[in-house]
Each structure stands twice: as structure tokens, then as C-alpha cells.
């Protein structure tokens, strides 16, 4: 065990997977000498050489599409998209090529690649360094979309993603990179994809989130205990697509109340899918309307501190929603 | 495709001699007979379409056979073809069985894609033909990635990536060629300049008259050839492929040719001057090769008749196979979205009952 930040955990997963499997290679902007915009690939060029840590041209389209081809030819590419805000040039590669290759070839051609994407706000990044955009990919069958909330999961899920035979979109929240530390094994382990986790057990109300807002949800749960003696069950979705619905449905059947929290825009965010699933499959379990705590439907995130604060999810906003649900 | 770092077993000798100055009889016969076969297959597909024997559409490369054949003949099984919608017949040179090609056109269960993709948008994994999407130019970038893998795996294999002149206007095209230049990848980019992208003439696509000049911007050789001269196309492609195989990087090859029919079977191509079409039909690559071969006693009309009889028999058999192949079952639409099944998720959505005793008492 070692105490690691989220970024350490990512780095450690990449190093271990590259050492384990010679077909794993990295490609992206500034990932070589510089070790990545956030230093996720620090030291890997020195350890594995230029052929396996490729500083690409400034072209997201070819970063992902060349990874698709390489994966078809037996490699395990891990392309990096510096900011999800700049993923749009790679949208065709991801949504039309990678996501559908297995389907349109009836399983005869596949591209196991893991696209690492840095996302999220609350760092004063402004409109083009703060977006989440997970919904774009959740809406695209054929992709596995993963968004870990803590260092332990970041390492275990990244290793699982690299070994998985499907194209995986791996969302890393920039605010998590250095804001928390925890014990992470230095030995080999994986965390299963497509499996949510109960991040905190409780019996009174279910709060469902992922990524950075999962940490805020845990803070809100603690406040609820101290303020009201309420036990909030916190579900960490971990994989956003395909969604593990059983874990949160099981929880709602126990608590009868649900609040969904995410940083993406409200409309058609994962909260909409979670709420619809609960309404369809657990309607009789509910004692209160399902509530959502999300960013508003505006471009995310305006730069000025007050504007940003207004838009982003906070522990206080989550507490308010939990209280509203309980008061219903 | 296997994960392996061993050198691939090459099915044919990779030492490609430069074309001899004297006509190479065996080569000329192969170039000619493949062109004839491509023509016959596509003309038959067009008839089947008009007869309503299959749904969707088709994108014939009739008139462009010299290019289709010249750039893909003599590839190794382990080499990759990255085709566009226009290059269905390149399967023939790669060796994809004709019955599977017709099953694909017919959308049958026996097709390599089991009825998923539109006609002609078909790959063949055993011989490394990439399944093309419809997004113009996307196959080039994927092909570039395969070339990257070949290089990393120390394999002496190459990628031939085909696209039309219209594709050269897209950002993807430039990203692919640039990347291949930067990393000296074993890939041949073939731009089939057939004058039109659907209805849009090449003059509205680019301000240059030779698309091959674009290669200079990416530090790779660029060549333009008469795309209706199969020997010229083959020679240029051969040289580029040999260079790629020997680790000398990518080449851009523009083949100037012409699409005889509309963009697809539903396009009457009214936007073209009939005189222009007639001019290009007079430059039909097949009779041109016949004349060339006849002058050195390599071609007779009797031989052509024999070839036609043989190809017709093959095509008839392939169509019979497609006709007798089952349609996929409707619920097979749920398969191969992921490496795991989603059937249960889609078909068996269960309902949850309240389990909180305290709540029921409330
Ligand atoms: C990105 C994209 N835009 C538009 C289309 C619609 N479309 C299909 S083929 C085509 C023309 C392609 O022209 P060209 O690249 O010259 O190839 P050709 O059909 O002449 O072989 C267009 C516009 C598409 N499939 N993909
Ligand atoms: Mg064209």
C-alpha cells in the first residue's frame, strides 16, 4: 500500500499495464517529455521509450482514430484527450468508428482502446476547460463510459479498462487529481467495470452520483448525519454506460427516496436516465419525487468566480435537496 | 486479429521486382482479367438493384477499374485495405470469396457483417479489409493506425487506404496524411479522382489541379497518374508499396479517372455534360488494355469470351448462395454491441418492490 493522489493512481495504473503487456501504448498531446498537461504520464517516456509514449501532432481526430486502427491490429492503445472540451475533433472517431466497429462487422473486427479524458470544473477554467460532456458518450451504444471518484478506483478501473475488449471512455475529473489521497495497493488489482459501489451505507435516503460530485455527496451525507441524524446511502455509479441499475434500484427499494447529483447539464444528464429507470422499475418504492442536483442548462462553466459558483454543484446544494426529499 | 509481435508469416514473396521494360505477360493477364471481373460483378450488381433483388443502394466504380485493380493487386493476406464506399470490388483482388460479397449486398446472415451494414460498406477480417463506415475519409485515419501498429510490431506489412477526391477537403484526410508523414508509416494513400463528389466537380473541391501536390505539405512523395492506365497505376503503386514495406514511409498517389454512372444507383447524374461522359467512356480502361495486349499477342477475343463465361458462372453461383442464405433474425440486432450480451438488459427489465418495513408501518 502507498498513499496516492488520483493522478498518482492513474500514473501507477499506466506504468503497471505497460510493463505487463507490450501491446499497451500511449498517445496524446504533450504526454512525452512533459508527462502530460496534468503529469499523468510523468516518467513513462523515460521508462518505455518514444515508441510507446507517443507525443502526437495536435490533432484529436488522429489521436483517437489511429488508436482504433492500432487496436484492430492487436495493440492496446491508451490515447489521452487533454481536456474533454477539445474532444470534438475526435467525435467521429469515437462515436461513429470506435463505438460501432464491433457492431457493423458483426464482431469480426474490434478496437479495445481506452480513451483517457480530463473533464470537469470548479477550477476557474472557464468555458473551454471546465466541461463534463459525459452525456455525449453515454448516449452512444458500444462505448463503455467510466468515471472514477477516488484514487483506489481510478487505478483499478483504469487497469480493468485497458484489459477490456470494448472501447472505453475514461473520465478523470481534474479537481480530483490532487485534492485527495488514500491508500492504494502497489500490487496488481482491478476494479470491475459496469458495477456501481455503495460508497456509504444508509437506510433513509439514496444519493446517486459519480466522479468529483460523489466526493461532495459524501460530504453532504456526513452533514445530514450531524444535522438531522439521517443516514444517507451514497451510490457511486463508477461506470455510466452501460449502467449498473440494480445497485441503485436495490438501494431505493430500501430507502424509498432518491436524489441524483452530477456536474453535467441537467437535460439528458445521467440523472435523467437514473430517474427514468427508478420511475419505470421501482415506482412502488417511492415516497417522494426523485430530485436532481445538477449544473443548469447553460454552457459550462462561465469563468468569473461568482458565475462558476452559481452553476456548480456543492455539498450545500446537495444537503438542500436531501432535506427537500425528506420533507416531502 | 491476433496480438503478436512475431513477424507475420507472409503468404507471398515480398521481394517485388521493378516492372520489366518488356510487357510481363502473366502480370498483364492478371491486371486485365481482374478489371474484367470487377466490371462484370458491378454491372451485375446494378442489374440486381434495378430488379429490386436487394434494398439500399450501390456505389459503382465502373470506369475506374484500372485504379481499383492497380493499387490492390498483389497485396499480401496480412496487408490491409482501407476502402471507401466506392471500393467494394477491391475485395476481389484481396481474395474475399464472391459468395460472401453478394451475401453482404443482400444483407444476409452469411455476410461477414451478418446484415448490419449498407451494401458495399463491408470489411473482411480474415484478409484485413477494414469495415468502412459511411463517414468520408474515416477509413484513412484508421488505416493510419493499422500502419502505426505494423511499424511497432516490426511487421513488413502495408496499408492501402483509398478515398475519393472529395475526401481531400476534410480535416480527417489531412490529419491522417500528416501523421503518416511524421511517423513514416507504411501506408499508401490512394486518391481516386473521378471528377465528382456526388454532384460537386473537383474544381469546387480544391484549387490545385494535381491533388498529389498536397503530399509536399506533409513531407511524403506525391504522384499523379492516369488512373485509367492499369499498368501505370500498378507500377506507381508497386513502387510506393515497396518503399512502405522497406520502412521508407507513406506515399500519396492520385489516380485521375472517371465515374461512368451516378454517385449511386439513385443518382441519374444530370449535372454532367453527356459529351464529358462519352469522352471518358472512349477512354475505357478495359479496351485500352485489350489493345495494348493484342499488339503484343497477349489478348484474343476468344480468351475474353472464356474469361466472361468463367466469371459469369462464378457470379451466378455467388448470387445463388446469397439467395439461399437466411435473413438474420430480428433480435440479432441486440448482438455484438459489446463483447458481452445486452439481451437481458434490453429484454428482461424487472420491477422492484419496497423492502423497507419501517416505511410500510409509517
Ligand atoms: C463526412 C461525410 N459527409 C458527407 C457524406 C455524404 N457523401 C457520401 S459520398 C459523398 C461524395 C464523396 O465523394 P468522393 O470523396 O470524391 O468519393 P466518390 O464517391 O467520388 O468515390 C458524400 C458527400 C458522407 N458520407 N460523409
Ligand atoms: Mg469523387
Phi then psi dihedrals of residue A26, to 5 deg: -115, 145
Say what the pLDDT of residue B357 is. 57
Q: Which residues contact B223 (CB under 8 A, 6 or more apart)?
A: B212, B236, B240, B251, B252, B253, B254
Q: What is the mean pLDDT of chain A?
A: 97
DSSP B317-349: HHHHHHHHSPPPPGGGGGTTSSSS--HHHHH--
- CA–centroid distance, B223 to ligand 2, in Å, is 18
A43-92: per-residue pLDDT in tens?
999 999 999 999 999 999 999 999 999 999 999 999 999 999 999 999 99
A10-35: per-residue pLDDT in tens?
999 999 999 999 999 999 999 999 99
Residue A286 confidence (pLDDT) above 80: yes
Taking an 8 Å cut-off on Cβ atoms, the answer to whether B112 and A253 are in contact is no
Euclidean distance between CA atoms B2 and A317, whole angstroms: 51
B113 and A CB contact within 8 Å: yes
Q: Is A197 helix (H, G, I), strand (E, B) or coil?
A: strand
Q: Which of B205, B263, B265, B272 to mutate to test the pocket of ligand 1 (most atoms within 8 A of CB)?
A: B263
Euclidean distance between CA atoms B139 and B146, whole angstroms: 10
Residue with cell 408501518: B361
Minimum distance, in Å, between the CA of residue B151 and any CA atom of chain A: 10
Question: Of the CATH numbers 3.40.50.920, 3.90.1150.10, 3.30.420.40, 3.40.50.1100, which one belongs to the domain with range A197-327?
Answer: 3.40.50.920
Residue A136 confidence (pLDDT) above 70: yes
Say what the pLDDT of residue B22 is. 74
Distances (CA, A) of A119 to A82, A132, A234, B8, B248: 9, 5, 22, 40, 39
Q: Which residues contact B122 (CB under 8 A, 6 or more apart)?
A: B88, B91, B101, B104, B111, B112, B113, B129, B131, B132
**What's the pTM?**
0.95
Residue A143 cell numbers, joined: 462505448
Pairs of residues, one from chain A and one from chain B, whose beta carbons lie less than 8 Å apart: 183
Q: Which residues contact A195 (CB under 8 A, 6 or more apart)?
A: A238, A239, A244, A247
Angle between helices A151-163 and A6-20 (to 10 degrees): 30
- Count helices and strands (H / E) in chain B: 12, 7
Euclidean distance between CA atoms B160 and B255, whole angstroms: 14
- CA–centroid distance, A64 to ligand 1, in Å, is 22
Domains detected in chain B: 12-200+213-347 (3.40.50.970)
Of all residues in chain A, the percent with pLDDT exceeding 70 is: 100
Residues of A in contact with B156 (CB under 8 A): none
Fold matches, A2-184 and A197-327: yes
Residue A167 cell numbers, joined: 472501447
Find, in chain B, the residue whose alpha carbon is nearest to that of A106: B113
**Hey, where are the domains in chain A?**
2-184, 197-327
Euclidean distance between CA atoms B362 and A204, whole angstroms: 13
Q: Would you say the ipTM is above 0.85?
A: yes
Q: For chain B (length 362 residues), average pLDDT per consecutive 10?
A: 33 41 88 98 98 97 98 97 98 98 98 97 97 96 98 98 98 97 98 98 97 98 97 97 98 98 97 97 98 96 98 98 98 98 95 74 43
Strands A291-295 and A258-265: parallel
Q: What is the CATH number of domain A2-184?
A: 3.40.50.970
Euclidean distance between CA atoms A26 and A80, whole angstroms: 7
Suggest the residue from B141, B146, B250 to mutate for an interface test with chain A (most A CBs closer than 10 A).
B141
Residue B359 cell numbers, joined: 416505511
B85 and A CB contact within 8 Å: no
Q: Which residues contact A23 (CB under 8 A, 6 or more apart)?
A: A74, A75, A76, B3, B5
Euclidean distance between CA atoms A104 and A192, whole angstroms: 27
Distances (CA, A) of B172 to A27, A121, A170, B206, B224: 17, 30, 23, 16, 21
Amino acid at each position: 500500500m502507498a498513499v496516492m493522489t488520483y493522478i498518482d493512481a492513474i500514473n501507477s495504473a499506466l506504468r503497471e499495464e505497460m510493463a505487463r503487456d507490450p501491446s499497451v501504448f500511449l498517445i496524446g498531446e504533450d504526454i512525452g517529455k512533459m508527462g502530460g498537461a496534468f503529469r499523468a504520464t510523468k516518467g513513462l517516456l523515460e521508462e518505455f521509450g518514444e515508441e510507446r509514449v507517443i507525443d502526437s501532432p495536435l490533432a484529436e481526430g488522429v489521436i483517437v482514430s489511429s488508436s482504433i486502427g492500432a487496436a484492430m491490429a492487436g495493440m492496446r492503445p491508451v490515447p489521452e484527450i487533454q481536456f474533454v472540451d477539445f474532444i470534438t475533433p475526435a467525435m467521429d472517431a469515437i462515436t461513429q468508428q470506435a463505438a460501432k466497429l464491433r457492431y457493423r462487422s458483426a464482431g469480426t473486427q474490434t478496437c479495445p482502446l481506452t480513451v483517457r479524458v480530463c473533464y470537469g470544473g470548479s477550477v476557474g477554467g472557464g468555458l473551454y476547460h471546465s466541461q463534463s460532456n459525459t452525456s455525449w458518450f453515454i448516449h452512444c451504444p458500444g462505448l463503455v463510459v467510466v468515471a472514477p471518484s477516488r484514487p483506489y478506483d481510478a487505478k483499478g478501473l483504469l487497469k480493468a479498462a485497458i484489459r477490456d475488449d470494448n472501447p472505453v471512455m475514461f473520465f478523470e475529473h481534474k479537481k480530483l487529481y490532487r485534492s485527495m489521497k488514500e491508500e492504494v495497493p502497489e500490487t496488481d488489482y482491478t476494479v470491475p467495470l459496469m458495477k456501481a459501489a455503495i460508497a456509504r451505507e444508509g437506510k433513509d435516503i439514496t444519493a446517486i452520483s459519480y466522479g468529483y460530485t460523489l466526493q461532495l455527496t459524501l460530504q453532504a451525507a456526513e452533514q445530514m448525519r450531524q444535522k438531522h441524524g439521517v443516514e444517507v446511502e451514497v451510490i457511486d455509479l463508477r461506470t455510466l454506460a452501460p449502467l449498473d441499475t440494480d445497485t441503485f434500484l436495490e438501494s431505493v427499494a430500501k430507502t424509498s427516496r432518491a436524489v441524483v447529483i452530477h456536474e453535467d447539464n441537467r437535460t439528458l444528464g445521467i440523472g435523467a436516465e437514473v430517474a427514468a429507470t427508478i420511475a419505470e422499475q421501482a415506482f412502488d418504492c417511492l415516497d417522494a419525487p426523485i430530485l436532481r442536483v445538477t449544473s443548469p442548462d447553460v454552457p459550462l462553466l462561465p469563468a468569473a468566480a461568482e458565475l462558476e459558483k452559481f452553476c456548480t454543484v456543492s455539498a450545500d446544494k446537495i444537503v438542500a435537496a436531501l432535506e427537500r426529499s425528506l420533507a416531502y | 486479429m491476433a496480438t503478436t509481435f512475431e513477424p507475420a508469416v507472409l503468404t507471398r514473396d515480398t521481394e517485388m521486382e521493378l516492372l520489366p521494360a518488356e510487357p510481363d505477360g502473366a502480370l498483364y493477364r492478371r491486371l486485365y482479367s481482374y478489371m474484367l471481373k470487377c466490371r462484370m460483378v458491378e454491372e451485375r450488381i446494378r442489374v440486381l438493384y434495378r430488379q429490386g433483388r436487394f434494398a439500399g443502394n450501390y456505389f459503382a466504380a465502373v470506369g475506374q477499374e484500372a485504379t481499383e485493380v492497380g493499387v490492390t493487386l498483389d497485396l499480401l493476406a496480412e496487408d490491409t485495405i482501407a476502402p471507401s464506399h466506392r471500393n467494394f470490388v477491391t475485395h476481389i483482388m484481396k481474395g474475399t470469396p464472391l459468395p460472401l460479397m453478394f451475401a453482404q449486398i443482400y444483407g444476409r446472415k452469411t455476410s461477414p457483417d451478418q446484415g448490419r451494414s449498407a451494401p458495399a460498406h463491408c470489411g473482411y477480417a480474415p484478409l484485413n479489409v477494414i469495415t468502412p463506415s459511411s463517414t468520408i475519409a474515416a477509413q484513412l485515419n484508421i488505416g493510419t493506425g493499422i500502419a502505426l501498429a505494423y511499424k511497432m510490431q516490426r511487421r513488413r506489412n502495408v496499408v492501402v487506404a483509398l478515398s475519393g477526391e472529395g475526401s481531400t477537403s476534410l480535416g480527417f484526410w489531412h490529419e491522417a496524411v500528416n501523421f503518416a508523414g511524421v511517423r513514416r508509416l507504411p501506408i499508401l494513400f490512394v486518391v481516386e479522382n473521378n471528377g465528382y463528389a456526388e454532384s460537386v466537380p473537383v474544381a469546387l473541391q480544391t484549387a490545385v489541379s494535381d491533388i498529389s501536390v498536397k503530399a509536399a505539405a506533409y513531407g511524403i512523395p506525391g504522384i499523379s497518374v492516369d488512373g485509367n492506365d492499369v499498368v501505370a497505376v500498378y507500377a506507381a503503386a508497386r513502387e510506393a508499396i515497396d518503399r512502405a514495406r522497406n520502412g521508407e514511409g507513406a506515399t500519396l498517389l492520385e489516380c485521375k479517372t472517371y465515374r461512368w454512372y451516378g454517385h449511386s444507383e439513385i443518382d441519374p447524374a444530370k449535372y454532367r455534360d453527356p459529351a464529358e461522359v462519352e469522352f471518358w467512356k472512349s477512354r475505357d480502361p478495359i479496351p485500352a488494355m485489350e489493345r495494348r495486349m493484342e499488339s503484343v499477342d497477349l489478348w484474343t477475343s476468344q480468351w475474353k469470351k472464356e474469361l466472361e463465361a468463367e466469371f459469369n458462372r462464378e457470379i451466378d453461383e455467388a448470387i445463388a448462395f446469397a439467395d439461399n442464405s437466411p435473413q438474420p433474425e430480428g433480435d440479432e440486432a441486440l448482438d455484438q454491441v459489446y463483447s458481452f450480451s445486452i439481451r437481458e438488459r434490453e429484454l428482461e427489465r424487472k420491477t422492484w418492490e419496497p423492502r423497507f418495513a419501517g416505511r410500510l408501518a409509517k
